[in-house]
Structure 1
Amino acid sequence: MFLKAAINGGLTKRDHPGTPVTPEEIAAEALAAAEAGADVVHLHIRAADGSQSIAPPAVDAVLSAVRRVAPGVVVGITTGLWTSDGHADRYAKVATWNLLPDFASVAFCEEGAAETAELVVARGMVLESAVWSLADVPALLASPTLHRNVRILIEPEDEDPDTAVAHARAMAAQITAAGVTCPLLYHGFDTTVWPVLRASLDDGHQVRIGLEDGATLPDGSPAPGNLALIHAALALTPAPR
């Protein structure tokens, strides 16, 4: 099982007290996630006021802490438009990052996704692209970087678990039919986290878990934090095929 840990997202400690938000907390949680069995770690960076940011000083602060505390951990960050004041501002920020993550995520539901993905690759980072719905798939398939992805994230936004799983599989079918050979990864949110994760595992794909996606264990009980979620995911086995 290839497992990606999504350790904080846009959460605050009011959402879950175990959420890492400072550079030091994020670095320590990235190391702990890797030691618990995560293959890679995805994190969201905070500005001094607590908001999400991809401004170079904020990226430097977190990545320098991660490299100091967890030098061997593979980490990626978001390029989500919500971290910037539109596509031009996002592009300018990514273009001027000083410290670079190992990989960066680009969502193809957003304006300027193809250009941002090209910039990520041009700057020497590993790219992972994401689709949130069937409507996003044509833009992904038309992108010049389609075959440069380390993985493609399939992130159905449906609230109903069965619908989310069905949409994830429909997106995967369109992507693979287009000749894409890189790994796929489905993940859900809140009530769909575990059904979508199980579907990804059953379909032979990579999986993702962490507080960014949801804070309950498979039995519905509250998760103390990321490590409990990682351990629960690693305990799963795919259904017989």
Structure 2
Amino acid sequence: MLQVCLNGSRTREQCPNLPITAPELAEAAKAAVAAGADDIHLHPKNSKGIDTLSPDCVAEAISAVQAAVPGIPVGVTTGAWIVSDPDERAALIRSWSVLPDHASVNWHEDGADIVAQALTDKGIAIEAGIYSGTDAYSRFQASPFSSRALRVLAEITDTDPSSAVTTARVLLDQMLTDVQAPVLLHGEDEAAWVVLHHARKHGLSTRIGLEDVLHTPDGRTATDNAVLVDTARSWAPVS
């Protein structure tokens, strides 16, 4: 499975073509699916381009994208950088009127179980975010949601392409022996492509998009998410 991550926490200053508004997200999603994406992850943003869990902004973004790509699963973030208090995040989730198919919960963040419970109560599937270099995996193992996740995201925060694959192997060695859910492996920035190749090589789901990387493997600036998805579907590194 190839997921497209349309925007992330980036800003227009970092990426002039970043999709922010609901119509832009819908257009980006449609093009990415046409290029080969199977699943969508996005960050709803407010009028200032800042990540938000506001029910109105979530509803606008999800409604637009679901209409643009009917039948394609659409997910959002619930990151603590948006609202630090997990009880406040849970309350916002419970106020959502238009629901994504899934939402990511970062298990290195305090209150992950609280957020996951709110999602479960709304019937929203959980993507368990496990960041490398953190205690997220041990926290997740101890969670009542460890056997209930839609998938586990092995998120490699090591951006050095010379060491990121080793970092990925260490995390996967922990996870693959006892994780019950499918694993999606991805990297970011300079290491995004080498980690994507490692995921494909080992038959794991992966993702690509402007959240994770702003350039193609040859160093060219990516004009949009569709270019990254198309490249991910066809790219084979020179050995």
Written as runs of structure 1 = structure 2, the 5 A alignment for 1:53-202 is: 53-134=52-133, 135-177=135-177, 179-202=178-201
| Runs ≥4 residues deviating over 6 A | none
Question: 1:68, 1:196 → 2: CA distance?
Answer: 32
Scaled by the length of structure 1, the TM-score of the pair is 0.92
Q: Is the 8 A contact 2:87 2:114 kept in 1?
A: no
Instruction: Specify the SS of the correspondent of 1:146.
Output: coil
Indicate the RMSD between aligned Cα atoms, in angstroms: 1.7
Instruction: Specify the SS of the correspondent of 2:147.
Output: helix
Question: 2:150, 2:2 → 1: CA distance?
Answer: 14
Question: 1:17, 1:65 → 2: CA distance?
Answer: 21
Query: What letter matches 1:142 in structure 2?
Result: A
Shift of 1:182: 1.9
The residue number in structure 1 matching 2:2 is 3
Q: Is the 8 A contact 2:4 2:209 kept in 1?
A: yes
Deviates further, 220-229 or 35-44: 220-229
Written as runs of structure 1 = structure 2, the 5 A alignment for 1:221-232 is: 221-232=220-231
Scaled by the length of structure 2, the TM-score of the pair is 0.93
Shift of 1:100: 0.6
Gap runs ≥5 in structure 2: none
Instruction: Specify the SS of the correspondent of 1:153.
Output: strand
Query: What letter matches 2:18 in structure 1?
Result: T
Query: What letter matches 1:161 in structure 2?
Result: P
Q: Matched residues, percent identical?
A: 37
The residue number in structure 2 matching 1:234 is 233
Alignment of 1:219 with 2:224, yes or no, is: no
Aligned length: 237
